[in-house]
């Protein structure tokens, strides 16, 4: 539960609002309480959405659908008004976590828990289907776990069987990874109750194994696998395996009905106790219930306090937004907001605070987790830049560095981000280190308007947006996306004229990264008119000698590994053992000292396409202008003096982007404008900045302009810088 914002109402139709449960592009879900103490989840749509006739019709349909379903395993509607200026709907509040939250925090459920979960959700779906509806979005986030059993929620995209009027043709509706093949292919006329049964099969596999049966990654990858691949059911208990397989039949007619599933799962109902769930999940429910019981009565917001500007909304509906962008302080019985901008600072007594003299640059990084080596390098670069700024005699203001360690844990990343976004002195942040933590943390930055500059997170949706989402105005990416990195890596392969049939292996440990890399590689080789031999293997595959032997037998003359360091090491050892002499290529997520150490002699003759330069090689590069070499040499010397060692990879780029921010702020101060978040992203996006590692400019989306991918080869157990990847395939460049 997160605090209400000053722009939030205090009461809706008799429900006293106690806080925010979540928010997104469509609206806000509040925790409400009735006069007799009953709690409810109150969903309120944004006014601008309510002005759209199609959206209001959809909301009305959601209310009607939810009211038609009568089941103890579906959350009931307790009130609604789809015709209000801001349509709202209230449902009974369930204090427990969603299935997705529980599995992410505590792992897969035991067999009996999965059976009881399946029985209850199947019976809820049977009630949905008996009401003439199809839910269409049965997923872990839409199943809440309570002490007396699970509850199915969210009828936002449910529709009557055979109804198509409110669904555009060729539009995929639902959550990829938990969709039936007929939904994945947007065969609207074929979507019926059997689609919910397929999703239930995915749900049961996820609950039993802790992973979706068709993997993770980009939506198009998940949709393709759903239609064409067999599900990965490794780890599903034997007694459930046949049922789950039947649910996941590609042919809707071959699946059992929800009612049949409820009868086949003959476990007793959970009853009033919580023994159907493992102890860690029960503790989570108990803790949340205790927090709800401890909520105090809150006086209604005093009239006449004014209306604050509403918070910015997330660009992506699948990211849960939290309301930590503003710091709330109680004063005089009313809620007051402390702006993130310095000229709006107020003291608790309502008087203007003294002018701010210290401002902060934030660092959101993995300092103690799996990517700690990169995160620490980024923090050192940022710290060196801030210290350089503070050493200036003409500095217009003092600066501090505020560091927040997300530990590489996506579950901790949002809170780590809030430590920065809710501090009004922080004007820009370097980070995140990784894609996963970035996706979790991004909503806090989008709500607060705080610019986020990354040198290592290549997930494409940080900057790109779809037709239904506003343009990015939060992230500047000082590196290529993984998609573009894959294309440039393929272009680098084409520099070797002997390569005719490269083998490309996608391993699915980091499915999102590897899929984006493969898509970029497909584009790059397509431009070069090269037809690779592709192979996809699951994350748990370890028999790389057999896998790569088959690829060699298929005629591959070069190898491209789309995966993480651990599996790249397995591939290196296997190729060395097989006597493969062709060149071997891999991307960003395998790069670093650990690969050299773990692969040993098998690392020789591997090539890497990565988004960072070697500062030591750059200061000696005679092809650069003397002034550029001198700039880099000065940075290297300053780093040695400060830290007693040469800078690591990612340090120089982090130093540069922080200096770009500081130079912009200094120019603003010279023009009489104090540091502020507002408008800073747009100013930085328009920059053409030259730093110690080269030049930085950005396109309209906030992505780095130009190539930005550099090639390294392993020689004698060390990385050797070869140069920038080509902007086009070698054969086209010659033409």
Judging by beta carbons within 10 Å of its beta carbon (0-12, 13-18, 19+), is residue 355 exposed, middle or buried? exposed
**Among candidate residues 255, 119, 122, 144, the one with its CA nearest the CA of residue 192:** 255
Instruction: Return the biggest CA–CA distance within the chain.
Output: 79
Residues facing 506 on adjacent strands: 536, 562
> Which of 591, 677, 23 is CA-nearest to residue 311?
23
Q: Which of these is catalytic: 8, 137, 405, 511?
A: 137
Q: In angstroms, what is the C-alpha Rg of the chain?
A: 27
Q: In what order do the strands lie in the sheet with 533-537?
A: 533-537, 502-507, 558-562, 584-586, 606-610, 710-715, 718-724
Q: Is residue 137 annotated as part of the catalytic site, yes or no?
A: yes
Q: What are phi and psi of 142, to 5 degrees?
A: -105, 15
Report the Cα–Cα distance between both ends of the chain, in Å, rounded.
Answer: 61
DSSP 554-622: TT-SEEEEES-HHHHHHHHHHHHHHT--S-EEE-GGG-SHHHHHHHGGGGTTEEEEES---HHHHTT-T
Which phi and psi angles does 435 have, rounded to 5°?
Answer: -65, -45
Rounded distance, CA 587 to CA 565, Å? 9
Neighbours of 110 (CB within 10 A): 14
d(CA 40, CA 29): 10
Neighbours of 286 (CB within 10 A): 14
Q: Cα–Cα distance between 725 and 707 in angstroms, integer?
A: 7
Q: Are 643 and 373 in contact (CB under 8 A)?
A: no
Give the span between the Cα atoms of 157 and 173, in whole angstroms: 8
Conformational region of residue 350, where left means phi above 0, alpha means psi within -120 to 50, and beta covers everything else:
left
Distance CA 493, CA 514 (A): 17
Going from the C-alpha of 567 to that of each of 469, 514, 579, 591, the distances in angstroms are 36, 12, 18, 12
**What beta strand segments (E) does 501-541 contain?**
502-507, 533-537
- Angle formed by the axes of helices 99-106 and 193-209, to 10°? 20
Tokens of 64: 């009607």
Cα separation, 421 vs 419, in Å, equals 6
Q: Residue 623's CB: how many other CB atoms inside 10 A?
A: 7
How is the chain split among helix, strand and coil, in percent rounded to 5? 40, 20, 40
Active site residues: 137
């Amino acid at each position: 539960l997160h605090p209400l914002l000053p722009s939030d109402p205090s009461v809706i139709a008799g429900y006293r609002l106690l806080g925010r449960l979540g928010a997104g592009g469509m609206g806000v879900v509040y925790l409400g309480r009735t006069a007799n103490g009953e709690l409810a989840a109150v969903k309120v749509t944004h006014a601008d959405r309510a002005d759209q006739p199609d959206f209001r019709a959809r909301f009305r349909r959601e209310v009607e659908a939810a009211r038609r379903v009568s089941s103890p395993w579906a959350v009931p509607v307790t009130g609604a008004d789809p015709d209000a200026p801001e349509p709202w709907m209230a449902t009974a509040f369930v204090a427990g976590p969603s299935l997705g939250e529980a599995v992410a925090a505590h792992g897969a459920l035991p067999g009996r828990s999965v059976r009881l979960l399946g029985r209850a959700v199947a019976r809820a779906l049977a009630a949905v289907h008996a009401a003439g509806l199809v839910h269409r979005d049965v997923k872990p986030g839409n199943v809440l776990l309570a002490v007396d059993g699970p509850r199915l929620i969210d009828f936002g995209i449910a529709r009557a069987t055979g109804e198509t009027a409110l669904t555009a043709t060729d539009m995929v509706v639902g959550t990829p990874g938990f969709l039936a093949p007929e939904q994945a292919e947007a065969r609207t006329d074929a979507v019926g109750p059997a689609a919910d049964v397929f999703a239930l099969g995915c749900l049961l596999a996820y609950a039993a194994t802790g992973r979706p049966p068709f993997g993770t990654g980009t939506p198009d990858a998940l949709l393709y696998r759903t239609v064409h691949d067999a599900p990965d059911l490794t780890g599903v208990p034997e007694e459930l395996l046949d049922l789950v397989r039947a649910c996941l039949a590609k042919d809707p007619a071959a699946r059992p009905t929800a009612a049949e599933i409820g009868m086949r799962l003959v476990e007793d109902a959970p009853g009033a106790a919580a023994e159907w769930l493992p102890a860690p999940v029960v503790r989570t429910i108990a803790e949340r219930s205790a927090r709800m019981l401890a909520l105090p009565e809150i006086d209604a917001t005093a009239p006449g306090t004014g209306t604050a500007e509403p918070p910015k909304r997330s660009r992506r509906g699948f990211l849960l937004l939290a309301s930590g962008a503003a710091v709330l302080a109680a004063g005089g019985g009313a809620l007051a907001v402390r702006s993130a901008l310095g000229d709006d600072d107020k003291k608790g007594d309502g008087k203007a605070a003294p002018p701010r003299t210290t401002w902060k640059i934030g660092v959101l990084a993995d300092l103690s987790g799996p990517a700690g080596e990169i995160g620490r390098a980024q923090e050192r670069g940022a710290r060196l830049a801030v210290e350089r700024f503070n050493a200036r005699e003409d500095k217009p203001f003092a600066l501090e560095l505020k560091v927040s360690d997300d530990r590489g844990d996506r579950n901790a990343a949002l809170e780590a981000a809030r430590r920065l976004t809710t501090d009004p002195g922080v004007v820009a942040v370097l980070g995140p280190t990784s894609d996963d933590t970035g996706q979790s943390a991004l909503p806090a930055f989008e709500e607060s308007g705080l610019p986020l500059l990354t040198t290592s997170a290549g997930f494409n949706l940080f900057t790109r947006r779809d037709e239904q989402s506003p343009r990015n105005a939060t992230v500047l990416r000082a590196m290529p996306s993984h998609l573009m990195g894959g294309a440039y890596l393929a272009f680098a392969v084409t520099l070797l004229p002997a390569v005719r049939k490269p083998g490309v292996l996608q391993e699915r440990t980091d499915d999102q990264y590897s899929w984006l890399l493969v898509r970029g590689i497909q584009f790059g080789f397509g431009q070069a008119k090269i037809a690779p031999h592709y192979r996809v293997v699951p994350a748990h595959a370890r028999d790389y000698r057999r896998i790569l032997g088959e690829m060699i037998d298929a005629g591959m003359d070069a190898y491209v590994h789309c995966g993480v360091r651990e599996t790249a090491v397995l591939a290196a050892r296997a190729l060395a053992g097989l006597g493969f002499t062709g060149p071997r290529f891999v991307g960003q997520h395998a790069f670093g000292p650990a690969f050299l150490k773990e692969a040993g002699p098998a690392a020789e003759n591997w090539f890497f396409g990565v988004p960072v330069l070697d500062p030591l090689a750059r200061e000696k590069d005679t092809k650069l202008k003397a002034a550029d070499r001198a700039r880099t040499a000065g940075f290297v010397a300053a780093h040695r003096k400060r830290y007693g060692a040469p800078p690591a990879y990612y340090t120089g780029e982090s130093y540069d982007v922080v200096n770009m921010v500081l130079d912009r702020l200094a120019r603003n101060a010279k023009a009489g404008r104090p540091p502020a978040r507002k408008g800073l992203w747009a100013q930085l996006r328009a920059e053409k900045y030259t730093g110690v590692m080269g030049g930085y400019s950005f396109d309209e989306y906030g992505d780095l302009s130009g190539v930005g991918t550099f090639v390294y080869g392993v020689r004698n157990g060390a990385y050797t810088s070869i140069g920038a990847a080509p902007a086009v395939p070698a054969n086209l460049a010659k033409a």
